[in-house]
Amino acid sequence: MPIRIILAGATGWVGRALTPAIAATDDLELVAAVARSAAGRDLGETLGGAANGVPVFASVDEALTIPADVLIDYTKPDAVKANALAAIAAGRHVVVGTSGLGAADYAEIDAAATARSVGVLAAGNFSITATLLKSFTLEAAKYVADVEIIDYASAKKPDAPSGTARELAETLAAQRQAATSRPVADVSGVPATRGGAFGEGATEVRVHALRLPSFVLSVESVFGAPDERLTIRHDAGSSAVPYVAGTLLAARKVAGWTGVRRGLDTLLD
């Protein structure tokens, strides 16, 4: 029997790429969609094609009336947490693609998912090459103490840092060595220019977010050592194609554990 999917954000940039990709599989079935502006319509027609029999609902709560196994969420930072908690309460596994949630949010979601015995996979970036950026950064951090992150995105991106940079910074802060740079508390001038911190003390990770026209999403891990530097960088293109395969992999695997796992790297290993 196929894994039944509810796709929240089905009419969005990523949702539009996921819909035909799910339809092209034998083991996944899209049973309901969520998008406020298309509520009450057929998803296939909404996306400009033939009717595909997938109903669109205005909210995840309404879509959860349809029997399903997994909620995939690609909506907005202000909607995703409530969507995930509603799906968990209804006993559905959850794949979180939407950015904006942090460690404290995921601790709350983890408690709910554990209590309900369902799995959650959240990844700041579902692309394979962006996942490699995270793996290579964590590997380099074993050997080089000093590292900071630069997060580039479009002028209109509603959250900062990006989900990619946030997940990277939170993971790195838990594993890195102590920095040798001057503590920000001892910096004069405008200390906020030293970036936002994830973690605490000498192992905190500083993230510098740039929001400018022409960028899609790029993340750079910059390592500095005496008289040498290492830069590891990922650049996303302008389509949502890179996120499809990783998201579908997560939908296939997410029933395999209880609670929250963060990062596509947790599946690739």
**What is the contact surface with ligand NAP in residues (CB under 6 A)?**
8-15, 34-37, 74-77, 79, 97-100, 123-126, 163, 243
Distances 169 to 99, 161, 241, 243, 251 between C-alpha atoms, Å: 14, 10, 25, 20, 25
Residue 127 or residue 221: which is nearer to ligand NAP going by CB? 127
- ω into residue 161 within 30 of 0, thus cis? yes
Among residues 46 and 221, whose Cβ is nearest to ligand NAP?
46
DSSP state of 99: -
Cβ burial, residue 142 (10 Å; 0-12/13-18/19+): exposed
- Least Å from the CB of residue 78 to ligand NAP: 7
CA angle, corner 45, sides to 41 and 48, nearest 5? 135
Which residue has the closest beta carbon to ligand NAP? Answer: 12
Nearer to ligand NAP, 97 or 199 (CB): 97
- Closest distance of CB 191 from ligand NAP, Å: 28
* Cβ closest to ligand NAP, residue 3 vs residue 121: 121
Q: What minimum distance in Å lies between the beta carbon of 131 and ligand NAP? A: 9
Task: Pick between residue 76 and residue 208 the one whose CB is nearest to ligand NAP.
Answer: 76
Q: Quick one: 126 or 198, whose CB is closer to ligand NAP?
A: 126
Rounded least distance, CB 188 to ligand NAP, Å: 35
Give the integer Cα–Cα distance in Å for 153 and 252: 30
Q: How far is the CB of 139 from ligand NAP (least distance, A)?
A: 21
Per-residue b/e over 75-85, b at no fewer than 16 CB within 10 Å?
bbeebbbebbb
Least separation, in Å, of the C-beta of 38 and ligand NAP? 6
| Residue closest to 149 by CA, chosen among 225, 261, 224 | 224
